[in-house]
A and B are shown apart, each in its own frame.
Chain A
């Protein structure tokens, strides 16, 4: 089984790295940048796991629910 977990900062959370990266885009001539948010993409290959187990791992280990949301995609 292959899966991808995408972890993103929650919308209400300031992402300073995203803001700095957006400013760099402006410097490079990409005008009108309204928002840049930086997260993580985690690719998993696993034998015999259930979708429920992957949700638990994504919630407990791969993301911090205080400040991050995750999305699990089974490929």
Chain B
């Protein structure tokens, strides 16, 4: 798999994503500056976490107009895997590649902690390596992760099984107590209707090595690698 990790001014998880990706055999991951205009030849595009453009105006609102976003949009429309993590999720929502938006956390606090996430759908290129209902232990670090969409959009997301991760308790129970930010229906990650664009607030790239405290994030990248190699085969 050949992946592009987009660097916006203010991205700060770009090299973490690159390190996580290249820890898998046969995966190449290039850092691609946001002023570039082509993503030709890449199987996957990662929009990493951080504070693109200082989160000025709204999170992701300026990054969505970066030159590279035309190429990201084109890649998404041709079935290339697009993964947005944290600020990358916010950018995908602002760009209209995913529905809804991420608002200020309901408790107003920046939440930087580990959370449990339940896998809600495994029939996607991002979650195929998990068991349905698996509970992952992933770190979150955000001030604006409160997912909101209007009732029609929410209904469509559920009807199409586009919610891939929800904040849960350790036993997988979805509760208000497990929700760190006020997100609608504990939503932590959603995919596009076509399944090839995925945005999530937690940071899988930070838990891809036991030295860093866990490996629960690896399954997302493993799933992407499997999906890419099965397309090629």
Q: Which residues of A contact B (CB under 8 A)?
A: 13-14, 16-17, 20, 40, 61-62, 64, 66-67
Q: Which listed residue (B101, B106, B108, B182) contacts A66, Cβ 8 A?
A: B101
Chain A to chain B contacts (Cβ below 8 Å), 13 pairs: A13-B103, A14-B182, A16-B104, A16-B107, A16-B182, A17-B104, A17-B108, A61-B57, A61-B65, A64-B101, A66-B150, A67-B101, A67-B148
In angstroms, Cα B64 to Cα A62, docked, is 12
In angstroms, Cα B150 to Cα A28, docked, is 36
Residues A67 and B103 in contact in the complex (CB < 8 Å), given A61-B61, A62-B57: yes
Residue in chain B with minimal CB distance to A66: B101
Residue in chain B with minimal CB distance to A65: B101
Q: Which 9 pairs between the two chains have the least Cβ-Cβ distance?
A: A66-B101, A16-B106, A16-B108, A64-B101, A67-B101, A64-B58, A16-B104, A20-B108, A67-B148
Shortest C-beta distance, B82 to chain A (Å), equals 20
Q: Count A/B pairs, Cβ under 8 Å.
A: 32
**B150 neighbours in A (Cβ, 8 Å):** 66
Q: How many residues of B contact A (CB 8 A)?
A: 19
Q: Is B94 part of the binding interface, using a Cβ–Cβ cutoff of 8 Å?
A: yes
In angstroms, Cα B93 to Cα A67, docked, is 12
In angstroms, Cα B149 to Cα A14, docked, is 13
Q: Is B100 part of the binding interface, using a Cβ–Cβ cutoff of 8 Å?
A: yes
Q: Which residues of B contact A (CB under 8 A)?
A: 57-58, 61-62, 65, 93-94, 100-101, 103-108, 148-150, 182
Shortest C-beta distance, A12 to chain B (Å), equals 9
Q: Which listed residue (A16, A17, A40, A64) contacts B94, Cβ 8 A?
A: A64
Residue in chain A with minimal CB distance to B99: A66
Contact B61 A64 (CB under 8 A): yes
**A20 neighbours in B (Cβ, 8 Å):** 108
Residue in chain B with minimal CB distance to A20: B108
Q: Which listed residue (A16, A40, A62, A66) contacts B149, Cβ 8 A?
A: A66
In angstroms, Cα B66 to Cα A61, docked, is 12
Shortest C-beta distance, B155 to chain A (Å), equals 15
- Supplied contacts A64-B94, A66-B101, 4 more A-B pairs, CB within 8 Å: A14-B106, A16-B106, A61-B57, A66-B149
In angstroms, Cα B104 to Cα A67, docked, is 11
In angstroms, Cα B182 to Cα A20, docked, is 15
**B105 neighbours in A (Cβ, 8 Å):** 16
Contact B148 A13 (CB under 8 A): yes
In angstroms, Cα B109 to Cα A20, docked, is 12
In angstroms, Cα B183 to Cα A16, docked, is 13
In angstroms, Cα B103 to Cα A13, docked, is 10
**A13 neighbours in B (Cβ, 8 Å):** 103, 148
Shortest C-beta distance, B229 to chain A (Å), equals 36
Shortest C-beta distance, B107 to chain A (Å), equals 7
Residue in chain B with minimal CB distance to A60: B65
**B58 neighbours in A (Cβ, 8 Å):** 64
| A14, A61, A62, A66 — most chain B CB neighbours (10 Å) | A66
